[in-house]
Amino acid sequence: MRWPGWCFEWPVDQTEAMPLIQPVPLLPVPELGRVHFIAVGGAGMSGIAALYADLGVAVSGSDQHDSATLRALADAGVTTYVGHDPAQLGAAETVVVSSAVRETNPELAEARRRGLRVWHRSAALAALMLGRVGVAVSGTHGKTTTSAMIATLLTEVGADPGYVVGSPLRDTGRSHRLGSGESFVIEADESDGSFLQYPAQLVVITNIEADHLDNWGTAEAYADGFVRLATAETVTTVVISADDPGAVALTEVVRAAGKRVLTFGASAGADVRLTGIGHGPRGATAMLTGPDESGPLELAVPGRYNLLNAAAAYAVGISLGVSGPLLRAAAARFGGTNRRFQPVAERGGVRIFDDYAHHPTEVAATLTAARELAGSGRVVACFQPHLFSRTRDFATEFGQSLGLADVVVVCGIYPAREDPIPGVTGELVAQAVSDPSRVHYVEQIDQAAAVLAGLVAPGDLVVTIGAGDVTSVGPQLAAALARGPQ
């Protein structure tokens, strides 16, 4: 499907697309029998497994390595295993897998052999939404924070929503809750097409910018996925950005499909509009004007992007009948989520933060927020590229975004689900930064903290950035600075 004015700034991957997850018919959770989760310790799986256990379902799960998450699931009544063995399926009738689980996994192979029901995690999550008002938050950037903000705002006003989001809330340490209220909020991942599985009545689209071309193949195919999401039969209301070009191009298509549209952003025509954007003593600030009221929006988290996320959450709240002033007050109590500009430590006058950004636009937004907080100090970025394909497609754009920092350390690529691509390394990103004198390349992530310790000075603000294990670098750097020169 095409529509006038569609255009992307990012290059188009001409390689053949990987198969996307196809929606399947859903069953209520109690009808699934015993359920076994493969790779249950992952962020996308653990919350669903825990909620199934909360509903009284017999749940088991396995993961390659032991972890605090696995132990917490065991405490919640989930039978957990370290390692993968076909015998661990037991009497399971339903097996849940993520996109990262390959067909060669012995438990998945056994489930196929037995003819068991095999669901992608998106179907298992979608089943939790049945019978409730589903709120699905999608977009290239900002899904986790926006869905967490919606969950927080609805909780603060007493609506007791259910939710599963991509990262634990800092205030509670939990990324999931069954809730007893009318709504159920989820983060709808577009990377593998699984966002089309969810029976949502209300869809949020934060922005649309080409990504995950290893799965979608082309930018146009990726964008068309959002058309299908926003115009699905179950959807009644779409909350969508008034600022982002990709979202704006989609808006008229959604209206033509008969959906109610509520826009948000800093643009003059936005239904929920932000003006006077700035930074206060606690975090980002703005004046918010909604359809029926206006007033100050004061956050405890930094960055223009968080104000936009909050405006989207406000739009969802008023769509569900909550008053604007209550929502603005609740937004001030949002403490953020893990790995989203998360404070790590301060040592010797050096402040250390950690962020999950893994797309050029996200990296630029993170470093812009860091600049606001750094004052007269330097911004030091430690970036770990995520996926060989994404590095290949966006190395130049990553270099441009990292140029917003004063000092840049680039690490080797975190492969995640991918095999190496010849000639594609983190050095492609390092070479794309315009000023080579500010860039340092470190292939092994376990060497990054030592390199950073030799570069930083009092007053600096350090941000470790990426979707891989770069999150370990901040604590290592804090320990190195505490020890002092060796």
CATH number reported for the structural domain that contains residue 400 in this entry: 3.90.190.20
12 pLDDT tier (thresholds 50, 70, 90): very low
Same domain, 211 and 116: no
If one counts the domains in the chain, the total is: 3
Q: Please, are residues 162 and 132 in contact by the beta-carbon 8 Å criterion? A: yes
Mean pLDDT within 402-407: 96
CA–CA dist 1, 447 (Å, integer)? 47
Percent of the chain as helix, strand, coil, to the nearest 5: 35, 20, 40
Catalytic, 156? Answer: no
Domain edge (last residue) among 301, 331, 361: 331
Same domain, 87 and 215: no
Same domain, 73 and 164: no
pLDDT at residue 321 in the model: 96
Domain housing 387: 342-483
Catalytic, 187? Answer: yes
In a domain, 262, yes or no: yes
In a domain, 336, yes or no: no
Q: Please, are residues 33 and 92 in contact by the beta-carbon 8 Å criterion? A: yes
In a domain, 320, yes or no: yes
CA–CA dist 166, 82 (Å, integer)? 23
Same domain, 174 and 76: no
Q: Distance of alpha carbon 198 from its chain centroid, rounded?
A: 17
pLDDT at residue 11 in the model: 36
Same domain, 185 and 69: no
18 pLDDT tier (thresholds 50, 70, 90): low
The SS3 of residue 287 is strand
State yes or no: pLDDT of 2 exceeds 70.
Answer: no
pLDDT at residue 17 in the model: 45
Same domain, 296 and 195: yes
Integer CA distances (angstroms), 34 to 38, 87, 98, 162, in order: 13, 14, 18, 22
Same domain, 111 and 259: no
pLDDT at residue 13 in the model: 38
Domain edge (last residue) among 270, 299, 331: 331
**Each residue of 435-474: pLDDT tens digit?**
999 999 999 999 999 999 999 999 999 999 999 999 999 9
State yes or no: pLDDT of 369 exceeds 90.
Answer: no
Going by DSSP bridges, is the β-strand pair 407-411/439-442 parallel, antiparallel, or unpaired?
parallel
CA torsion, points 23, 24, 29, 34, in degrees to nearest 10? -120
Q: Please, are residues 200 and 135 in contact by the beta-carbon 8 Å criterion? A: yes
State yes or no: pLDDT of 48 exceeds 60.
Answer: yes
Same domain, 117 and 164: no
pLDDT at residue 20 in the model: 87
In a domain, 4, yes or no: no
Q: Please, are residues 189 and 195 in contact by the beta-carbon 8 Å criterion? A: yes
**Each residue of 317-326: pLDDT tens digit?**
999 999 999 9
Instruction: List binding-site positions.
Output: 139-145
14 pLDDT tier (thresholds 50, 70, 90): very low
Mean pLDDT within 116-145: 95
Determine which of 73-77, 126-130, 140-144, 266-270 has the lowest per-residue pLDDT on average. Answer: 140-144
* From 94, 110, 143, 231, active-site residue: 143
State yes or no: pLDDT of 337 exceeds 80.
Answer: no
Catalytic, 143? Answer: yes
In a domain, 386, yes or no: yes
In a domain, 1, yes or no: no
CATH number reported for the structural domain that contains residue 95 in this entry: 3.40.50.720
- The continuous run of DSSP H or E covering 65 comes out as none
4 Cβ partners below 8 Å, 6+ apart? 249
DSSP state, residue 18: P
State yes or no: pLDDT of 3 exceeds 70.
Answer: no
Going by DSSP bridges, is the β-strand pair 284-289/294-298 parallel, antiparallel, or unpaired?
antiparallel
The one-letter amino acid at 283: G
Same domain, 391 and 323: no
DSSP state, residue 166: S
**Each residue of 268-303: pLDDT tens digit?**
999 999 999 998 777 899 999 999 999 999 999 888
Same domain, 327 and 351: no
**Percent over 70 (pLDDT), the chain:** 96
Residue 408 half-sphere exposure toward CB, CA atoms < 13 A = 29
* From 69, 80, 94, 144, active-site residue: 144
Give the ranges where 288-359 is alpha helix by DSSP (H).
304-319, 324-331
Residue 368 buriedness (CB in 10 A; 0-12 / 13-18 / 19+): middle
Same domain, 286 and 312: yes
Q: How far apart are the first and last CA of the chain?
A: 61
Q: What is the pTM of this model?
A: 0.80
Which residue shows structure tokens 């939710």?
163
DSSP state, residue 4: T
**Each residue of 342-360: pLDDT tens digit?**
889 999 999 999 998 988 9
Same domain, 272 and 400: no
In a domain, 126, yes or no: no
**Residue 447: other Cβ atoms inside 10 A:** 15
In a domain, 476, yes or no: yes
Please list, residue by residue across 151-164, b when 16 or more beta carbons sit within 10 angstroms of its beta carbon and e when fewer do: bbbbbbbebebbbb
- Mean pLDDT, all residues of the chain: 91
* From 110, 156, 187, 190, active-site residue: 187
CA–CA dist 253, 2 (Å, integer)? 10
338 pLDDT tier (thresholds 50, 70, 90): confident
Render 385-426 in DSSP notation, one character per residue. -B-HHHHHHHHHHHHHHHTTSSEEEEE--B-TTPPP-TT--T
Instruction: List binding-site positions for ATP.
Output: 139-145
Phi, psi at 474, each rounded to 5°: -55, -55
